[in-house]
Chain A
Amino acid sequence: MNIFREIRFYFKKNSLLFFLELIILTLFLTLVYVFALFTIGINEKTDKIENIYNGKEIYRLIDKLEDPEEFSDFLNSKSSVSVLSNFYNELDTDKNFQFLSVFDQFIPIENFKGDNTFDYAYGEDMEVKGKYKDEISKKIYQNAKSMQMNKNSFKFYDIELARGKEIDWEKVDYSTGRIPILLGNDYSGIYDVGDVLIGDYYGKDFKFEVVGFIKRNTYIFYNGSSEKYLDNYIVVPYPLRLSKIDNEMGDMESEFYGILYSAMINGDIAIEKSGNSLQTLLKNLDRISQKTSFDKYTIIGVRNFVVQYNNMIAAINNNKKIILFLLILNLIIMFIILKGISHFIYSKRKKVYYLYFLNGCNKGEIYKIFSIDLILPYILAFILNIIITWKYKFFDEMILIILAIIIFLVFSVIYRIFIKKLHKDLENGFR
């Protein structure tokens, strides 16, 4: 028997019902998919927040070089910049806390291939947007969003790669003029591993070599934002250790390191929570300050947003219950509708099964036609769901497996109902 010919006849007379069934199934699967994504997202966030902040206090260290003149004088003094390097190295290696140095200085990139969503000014009220010509170098630049981070921050925020290789921190050496970088996931298809971007980093030309891509939806806590997503960012690693400024070093070079070091000493400090964690931190900072002779810093508490975030998650968890209830309700309604449609289609197709039976087809062949009639919209709805999730970039294998199980279960129940009916009809000779 040619099954495909029967499918053709099936579509001819039942296309409207078929598409109705397909739409209902696809909508339901998409709804389940979004719910699963939402749940996984919330669980991941909750876990991440707990992992990061459970038993920890977060403070922010900021420099007090606010006065432009004072800052300029500081940068012009090579010994002062060296003091900064010592101060940073001590902060970064201290065993009593974790120093998380993160800064979002944009980087003008030559012949940038990305669209405006990667632009630092995208969605902001800024004058320079998109590509522009640098009046001095005459080169065409675009200011790409960038996040500079130290190794502690990478570990602390558990930044994982989608592909490529991890940063080899020992080899991050700005003096070579070449820095390995990671790209946010939105850069996939625009740049590839091994590509080299040329850009201006604090007034100095650098070659940025792409070594990997960060997993989609990776975010960090930055500057009061509880979810700073890195999907459209260039992530630049800070050097592992900062070198002192040599007296032989040119002024331009010295100024570059001055700006870089002063950016690097601004960061968050994570410390084990205790009754006197602030006192302990201040004591340790004071010790470092005395050792390095740098005291132009201050400490502020930044826990508020974490508390807000936890409150928000509690509210979302409550909403999750409501959504789960609606989802189950939706499943029941969908099941009733599907059963109704299947019943209608069965009534219309019964004559076909009967005629095959009447003319001598065995049970197995009739079950085969019936099964294909029934399973087609389920298979197509599942494929459509894969296409939709793929196209809109929220594809997740684990959720698809869950969806496959759900759709299989729904199909199994419907199939069981109607195969019993068909069996009964065959036993009774369709009378």
Chain B
Amino acid sequence: MIQLNGINKKYILPNGKEQIIFKDLNFYMQEERSLAILGRSGSGKTTLLNIIAGLDIKYKGKYYFDNRLLPKNIDEMSSLRLEDIGIITQNYNLLYDRNIFNNVAITLHCLGTNKKDIGKKVKHALEIVGLTDHKYKYPNELSGGESQRVAIARAIVKQPRLLIADEPTGALDEETEKDILKVFKNLQEIGHKLIIATHSRSIASICEKEYLIKNNDLTLVR
């Protein structure tokens, strides 16, 4: 499904020096239902997810999705996200000017889904994350765990083939993390493919494979 070949990525630091993030990194995801990407802060977990999601196109190397070489073009990558990838961001990124229903529906607006189908799909996504009763609430009325569930519902509402989650429990306490863990297990069971960048061992443990980013490269741990 996903193949990254010879990825080189570097950042120019404010002092003008180069910081190499990846050096000839290769990454494959074929039949696995879920992968965890582990690594220290600043090791490049988010950068790798951004490349996979098409949010970062400033790298050297080749990216194949379903054996198709993807061009490094913003609109082409948007199209990939629109059709195949759902993203769960680190800080929920909810919009405070609209209720939960409209926060989740934003994904479907991009797809141009009709009003009737938006209602059905948002309801279904909220059911999966257990927030059916919260659809008319506003983000400021939710707890951290509930906000993360909204972010998950927003990512799954269009039923993408691949879900990418960046530190989904990074800001949550242990109890809430357990709840989110259940949600991710459930997502795998209903057929979603997952790539999760995480610090958390418990989150990583639910994934089929674990990779570690170390010394600008990716190593299979389990």
Q: A interface vs B, CB < 8 Å?
A: 1-2, 5, 9-10, 12-13, 351-352, 354-365, 426-431
Contacts and interface: CB of A to CB of B under 8 A. Distances in A.
Contacts of A356: 106, 109-110
A1 B109 contact: yes
Interface string B55-92: 11110000000000000001100111111010101000
B79 A9 contact: no
Most buried by A among B80, B95, B111: B95
A359 B75 contact: no
The 9 closest A-B CB pairs, nearest first, are: A360-B82, A429-B55, A360-B81, A13-B97, A359-B107, A361-B110, A9-B97, A362-B75, A362-B78
A12 B111 contact: no
B93 interface: yes
A362 B109 contact: no
A1 B50 contact: no
Given A359-B107, A360-B110, A361-B78, A9 B89 contact: no
Nearest to A426: B74
B222 interface: no
A2 B97 contact: no
12 contacts: A9-B95, A9-B97, A12-B98, A13-B97, A354-B93, A355-B106, A358-B89, A360-B78, A360-B107, A360-B111, A427-B58, A431-B56
B113 to A, nearest CB: 10
A361 B54 CA distance: 12
Contacts of B109: 1-2, 5, 356
A12 B110 contact: no
A362 B79 contact: yes
B39 to A, nearest CB: 18
Contacts of B111: 360
A361 B109 CA distance: 9
Interface in B81-133: 81-83, 85, 87, 89, 93, 95-98, 102, 106-107, 109-112
A429 B50 contact: yes
A363 B154 CA distance: 20
A360 B56 contact: no
Nearest to A360: B82
A363 B78 contact: yes
Given A1-B109, A2-B109, A429-B56, A358 B87 contact: yes
A12 B97 contact: yes
B95 A355 contact: yes
A354 B91 CA distance: 13
Given A359-B82, A365-B110, 16 more contacts: A9-B98, A9-B102, A13-B97, A352-B95, A354-B93, A355-B106, A357-B55, A359-B81, A360-B80, A360-B81, A360-B83, A360-B111, A361-B82, A362-B78, A430-B55, A431-B50
Contacts of A361: 78, 82, 110
A421 B85 CA distance: 26
Contacts of A358: 55, 81, 87, 89, 93
Contacts of B50: 429, 431
B74 A360 contact: no
Contacts of A363: 74-75, 78
Contacts of B83: 360
Contacts of A357: 55, 78
Interface in B151-167: 154, 158
